[in-house]
Amino acid sequence: MRRSRKVKILATLGPASSDEAMIRRLFEAGADVFRINMSHTDHPSMQELVRRIRSVEKEVGRPIGILADLQGPKLRVGKFADKSVALEVGQTFTLDDDPTPGDATRVHLPHPEILASVQAGHRLLIDDGKLQLLAEEADGKSIICRVVAGTKISDKKGVSLPDTDLPVGALTEKDRLDLDAVLTTGVDWIALSFIQRPEDLAEARKVARGRALLMSKIEKPQAVTRLAEIIELSDALMVARGDLGVEMPIEAVPGIQKQITRAARRAGKPVVVATQMLESMIEAPVPTRAEVSDVSIAVFEGADAIMLSAESAAGKYPVEAVSMMNKIAERVERDPTYSGIINAQRSEPEATGADAISLASRQIAETLKLAAIVTYTASGTTGLRAARERPQVPIIALSPVVETARRLSLVWGTHCVVTPDAADLDDMVNRACRIAHSEAFGSPGDRVIVTAGVPLRTPGATNMLRIAYIGSDGLRGL
């Protein structure tokens, strides 16, 4: 099954979409990668979801990617004697280290790292910003705040700290246990929540040891400030607009989305745009016009993937949501302005052989109107460099490594096929032409361009480019 679009669709699994039949329906509707949210999934359930996805993968004969999304540090206030209290704008309210149930003047904050880090002038946003506090005094044991906006606070509400750099890593003890568990199942991508600095990736990378690739979720102002460093150490990025829109002015999020998307494209790292893309489809069978425009903007920007969260995990119309996202993406990519916008955002290639070959293959393929670019890739690097060019023609990524094909299922424009490694150059060309024909990318007489590294099976050595005709029998190249 080949897609009629280049942007990929990432669908979150949950109560509405956890059985094998539904997972297959979501794949057939357009989902390329499935996300498992470890905030709401225990280890036995996660293992069963992975098993079901792999079963569907075997049935459909296409590599399917799996993303495990770690919860990250969840910062919450303590409990109140009456479960909730009413506040007034302008009043004083204190967060402290006293475990006594809270009242209208104070509440316990069971996070000593916050008490030690917040300074006067820092903002504290409670319950996704519904309550906004401004720190006026802080001594390491308590934070005396003034209520700026909002009139209510209740038990265990989340705390966001847009102005405070916390001296804690991105992995909690729960995350460490979850990371060990998901790695044993062979998931392809690990999403790290609430990244603040490049160092936050170090522990996860040490544990993963290449068994899965790391995706940094950009959802804090500190991460935006150090974006270039985080990109360098990440395998992919996610524009996590939900928390980003809480910790930063909501009107700044669209511009930040564009900054992140373009920076990731320049670096040749996949980028996912996520959160509330078709939010109304949790309850309704069709989205709003504004949501359609929102999805379209991400596709026009050249994002590698667009993601559904609650729409597919807990909504009433999970299949319809995936199908709608698929239709929007296909229509955008057929729009006469699409290629011009994508081309205008293209970056200069880096001074490497792989980038030079990728640039040349795109230019040749578009000039000669070839049927496809066929790239051999063992590690996935050659496929990523080909996708960085955002060619108008399809990219067929051939790999003998199934894990590589699954990881590339997240990457823009790549149609991944698992195939044994070529024996020699002639076999490489014949195999490329045969697969381009069998996967319905070309007909006998059509031409494809083949890129690979010679000697074969040498990682990162992309140095060969060849144009070949698909033979009259569709089985060999000329």
User: Could you tell me if residue 102 is left (phi over 0), alpha (psi between -120 and 50 degrees) or otherwise beta?
Assistant: beta
Would you put residue 34 in left (φ > 0), alpha (ψ -120 to 50) or beta? beta
Partnered with residue 370 across adjacent β-strands are: none
Indicate if 209 belongs to the active site. Answer: no
Give one DSSP letter per residue of 20-86, joined into a string: HHHHHHHHHHT--EEEEETTS--HHHHHHHHHHHHHHHHHHTS--EEEEE------B---BTTSEEE
Q: Are the beta carbons of 26 and 11 closer than 8 angstroms? A: yes
First vs last Cα of the chain: how many Å apart? 26
176 catalytic per annotation: no
| C-alpha distances in Å from residue 62, one per residue of 27, 44, 455, 475 | 10, 25, 28, 21
Distance CA 392, CA 191 (A): 29
Pairing of strands 123-126, 131-138: antiparallel
Catalytic residue among 12, 275, 375, 382: 275
- Which among 5, 123, 197, 217 is annotated as catalytic? 217
Six-digit token string for 443: 């007909």
Nearest C-alpha neighbor of 32 from the set 2, 8, 67, 59: 8
- Nearest to 116, CA basis, from 132, 138, 83: 138
> Helices (H) and strands (E) in the chain — how many of each?
17, 21
Which helix H or strand E contains 225, and what residues bound it?
helix 221-225
DSSP state of 227: H
Residue 275 a catalytic site member: yes
DSSP secondary structure of 430-442: HHHHHHHHHTTS-
Task: Name the β-bridge partners of 416.
Answer: 397
Q: 6, 35, 79, 476: which is the annotated catalytic residue?
A: 35
Query: How long a stretch of residues is the chain?
Result: 478
Alpha helix ranges (H) inside 376-458: 381-388, 402-408, 425-438
| Active-site residue, from 25, 54, 74, 76 | 76
Phi, then psi, of 92 in degrees rounded to 5: -90, 140
122-158 burial code (b ≥16 CB/10 A, e <16): bbbbbbebebbbebeebeeebbbbebeebeebbeebe
The runs of H, that is alpha helices, within 89-192 are 112-117, 173-185
Respond yes or no: is residue 451 known to be catalytic. Answer: no
Catalytic residues: 35, 76, 217, 275
